[in-house]
Amino acid sequence: MFLENQRLTHLPPAVYPVIKVDENKCNGCGRCVKSCPIQLLMIKNEKVIHNERYDHFRCITCQNCEAVCPQNAIMIDGDYRVNRGYWKNDHLFSGSKTLPVSLDNRDGASEAKGGKDQLTETEKVIYKRRSVRLYKKKQVPRELVERVLEAGRFAPSAGNNQPWKFIVIQDKAVIDKVDLLVKKFCRIVMYATMPHQWVKKQVPGDKNAVLKPWQKIVYQLLLRLRGPNELDPRALGGINAIVSDPDYHTFFHAPTLIILLVDRRGIGSIDLDTGICGQNMVLAAHSLGLGTCYVSLIDGLQGFPRYRKKLGITSPFEIVTSFTLGYPSGQVDNVVEREQLRVKWI
């Protein structure tokens, strides 16, 4: 059973949702293509179609393609379900995704819960916030960035320890340099853990490709050292999207990048505290009309200690995550469906 679970960690027997495109509505604007973190879509003959260069990565149902489409031409059909192995989840959900209860008109739910007119401004920002990968070139004024940072400064933390530190980068050349270094690190990861036929966007991948014997050994070592969470096929799909496309920018050409650091001497769950801090900042940013996207691949800088030092990432501080910040290009924030609540009332 243990060996079977290990095998199913790499290629779980999953049922993935399907992206459906209404050809009559689609105008080929490409916003959905640029917004997909796994690069599952492409444009051909001025229409959006599925990118079928490989079969390993499927839709993660972030639904950003739906949110950004100005023609309402995209629909996500189905849910991600795994029926056995380490990632088994089909017993954890009952039913498909739904809108927030207050915005769901089915069975009169919106009237029963008060409807969108009763939502606070905070609730509206939470429900509408999407990860933004489409930015204008316009730089974010320093005073707005400082307001975002202040929202993070006043986040709760264990023992009021406030273990965080921020690095704000608004120099395009520096952001581009970080992008190149992160890609370099990710290429090493992909070379060791991905069938090589799937690593080049321009080359149609063999859907039956498998890992080489030495890669299987490396994968099992990483599984033991790093744990399975970072080796989920959906996570590897996101990394491969960055590596395989030379035009893909890790930080989406956003004008501002904020790196969140944590003091490892802090109290309690310091990563959790810094995550709470980050979400304070993200919600504040979207309330100000800005857009954000978490990019934890910034951790790839771990392979470049000299450049980390140049950026000011020195002991006792370490990278937790980063997020892009800028003005969204067109409509991006929107309400989408999510898995139904898993809760036990006592």
What is the residue type of 296?
A: S
| CATH architecture for residues 135-170+255-326 | 3-Layer(aba) Sandwich (3.40)
pLDDT of residue 6: 57
**108's tokens:** 């009169």
Instruction: Give yes or no for a contact between 162 and 153, defined as CB atoms under 8 angstroms apart.
Output: yes
d(CA 321, CA 259) in angstroms, rounded, equals 6
* Domain ranges across the chain: 135-170+255-326
Name the nearest CA neighbour of 39 among 47, 23, 28, 50.
50
**Residue 113, H or E segment:** helix 109-113
What 3-state class would DSSP assign to 44? strand
Instruction: Give CA separation, 284 vs 112, 277, 281, 288, in Å.
Output: 29, 11, 5, 6
User: Mapped to the 3 state alphabet, what secondary structure does 223-268 carry?
Assistant: HHHHCHHHHCHHHHHHHHHHHHCCCCCCCCCCCEEEEEEEECCCCC
Determine contact, residues 239/189, Cβ cutoff 8 Å. yes
Separation CA 319–CA 295 (nearest Å): 11
| Exposure b/e, 136-169, CB count within 10 A at least 16 = b | eeeebeeebbebbbebbeebebeeeebbbbbbeb
Residues 6+ apart with CB under 8 A from 246: 201
Token look-up 């393609």 returns 65
Do residues 102 and 118 make contact, with C-beta atoms less than 8 angstroms apart? yes
Are residues 120 and 126 in contact, defined by beta-carbon separation less than 8 angstroms? no
Q: Which residue, among 311, 285, 288, has the nearest Cα to 298 in the 3D structure?
A: 311
Distance of alpha carbon 40 from alpha carbon 57, whole angstroms: 8
Taking the model in full, what pTM does it have?
0.91
In tens digits, what is the pLDDT along the chain, a chain of 346 residues? 455 555 566 667 888 888 999 999 999 999 999 999 988 888 888 889 887 666 667 788 899 999 999 999 999 999 989 888 888 888 998 888 999 987 866 554 444 344 567 899 999 999 999 999 999 999 999 999 999 999 999 999 999 999 999 999 999 999 999 999 999 999 998 999 888 888 876 666 777 888 899 998 998 888 888 877 777 878 888 888 888 888 899 999 999 999 999 999 999 999 999 999 999 999 999 999 999 999 999 999 989 999 999 999 999 999 999 999 999 999 999 999 999 988 999 9
Q: How many CB atoms lie within 10 A of CB 216?
A: 14
Hunting for tokens 């994968």 — which residue is that?
219
Please give the pLDDT value at position 109. 44
Residue among 188, 145, 173 nearest 297 (CA): 188
Tokens in use for 156? 């709760």
State phi, psi for 246 to the nearest 5 degrees: -65, -20
C-alpha 267: how far from chain center: 28
Beta bridge partners of 81: 15
CB atoms within 10 A of CB 206: 14
Quick one: how many helices (H) and strands (E) in the chain? Answer: 11, 10
Compute φ and ψ for 45, nearest 5 degrees.
Answer: 55, 40
- Which residues lie below 8 Å from residue 59, measured CB to CB, with a gap of 6+? 16, 17, 18, 19, 38, 40, 76, 80
